[in-house]
Structure 1
Amino acid sequence: MAASDKDDLDKSEPTEAKEYLTFWLGEEYYGIDILTVQEIRTYGQVTSIANMPNYIKGVMNLRGVVIPIVDIRLKFNLPNISYHDMTVVIILNIDQRIVGIVVDSVADVLLLDNVDVQPPPDFASALDTKYIQGLASQEELMLILIHIKKLMNSQDMALFDQIESDSTVLEPQEGRTHE
């Protein structure tokens, strides 16, 4: 190899691959860093909490741990839909905070090189671009990569602390109605 060819290789940007869990919200295809995913579950019993934004569906008891459940569709100002047998909750572990996000369905795990990820365009959309990590083309689909740590650590997500400190939501009570 000639010295000039070696110099060109040294100057090239190294590629770094990352895995993303992909999911659907309506017709939109999203991905999140797989390292934040703890598990995937079917949507189950959720206890609602009064005076919370509509996108916080309530809490779920996951093996003795009370976790807040966020409907990402509502967080992104997408139309509300009825949950069905394909509706899933992705349980995330973000900086030692456990939270569940409701999505329409999980698609796949993809390995993407950083060169395949384009920066988000500056446009108005339902999802604030500060939460978009990038965009990637997958076959004929556009994959929107969400910066889930920014989304879950945003100011309005501080409500999780309030939920987690409320000891009255540990177990749903028989006969109790939420007004």
Structure 2
Amino acid sequence: MYNTTSDSVSIDSTTAMQFLSFTLGGLEYAIDFAKVHELRVLKALERFASSGEIIGGVAVSRGVIMPLVDMRAAFGTVSGTPDPMTDVIILKLSSCVMGMVVDGVTGVVTLQADQVAPMPGAEGVDAGYLIGIAHAGQRRLILVDIDRLMSVQGAGAVNGTLQVA
């Protein structure tokens, strides 16, 4: 697991961890694979929120109704009509089950602690959901603590707009 103390954020040096990687606005991010419940291709995103809101709609997965968070809007990238690469990552978090709309899932990557560096300039409170930057071959991944990002305390972290509990 990763250590998310206030002094440092790091991956446990004794074990490798698996992360699901995805793209948003041309950057590649990754979250703890253990939090992923299922993956789906987004066919349509019917917005019920006003323009600029990140809760883009709801989905039903195995009888469970869950909110869909449009991470493209949350991270300030273009959010428009889904294309064939647009995916939904269904998350099973400690507080809820929810869907996360991303530009596309790129795969599962296994990382060791020595492949992760602290996030430059991420000492501020607003970056509390960032674990660090991982180097996997030629790829550079921004590691995100998805529980913290979606928590009430970290809710304002993304452009001051994320209000998910």
- TM-score bracket for this pair, using the shorter chain length: 0.7 to 0.9
Show the counterpart of 2:164: 157
Show the counterpart of 1:109: 108
Unaligned runs of 5+ in 1: 1-12, 159-179
State percent identity of aligned pairs.
36
- Note the C-alpha offset of 1:46: 4.8
Any idea what SS the aligned residue of 1:107 has? strand
| TM-score, length-scaled by structure 1 | 0.71
Deviating runs (4+, > 4 A) in structure 1? 50-53
Distance 1:14 1:117, change over 3 A: closer
Any idea what SS the aligned residue of 2:105 has? strand
Distance 1:139 1:157, change over 3 A: same
Show the counterpart of 2:33: 34
* C-alpha separation in 2, matches of 1:117 and 1:30: 13
The residue type paired with residue 68 of structure 2 is I
Any idea what SS the aligned residue of 1:157 has? coil
* C-alpha separation in 1, matches of 2:91 and 2:40: 11
Unaligned runs of 5+ in 2: 1-11, 156-162
- Note the C-alpha offset of 1:119: 1.2
Q: Which moved more, 1:115-124 or 1:148-157?
A: 115-124
Answer yes or no: is the 8 Å Cα contact 2:44–2:81 preserved in 1: no
More strand, by proportion: 2
Deviations 1:41-64 (Å, cap 9, x if unpaired)? Answer: 111455543469611101112222
The residue type paired with residue 143 of structure 1 is L
CA RMSD of aligned residues (A): 2.2
The residue type paired with residue 139 of structure 1 is G
Show the counterpart of 1:136: 134
Deviations 1:54-82 (Å, cap 9, x if unpaired)? Answer: 11101112222110001111111123243
- Note the C-alpha offset of 1:122: 1.0
| TM-score, length-scaled by structure 2 | 0.77
- Note the C-alpha offset of 1:108: 1.1
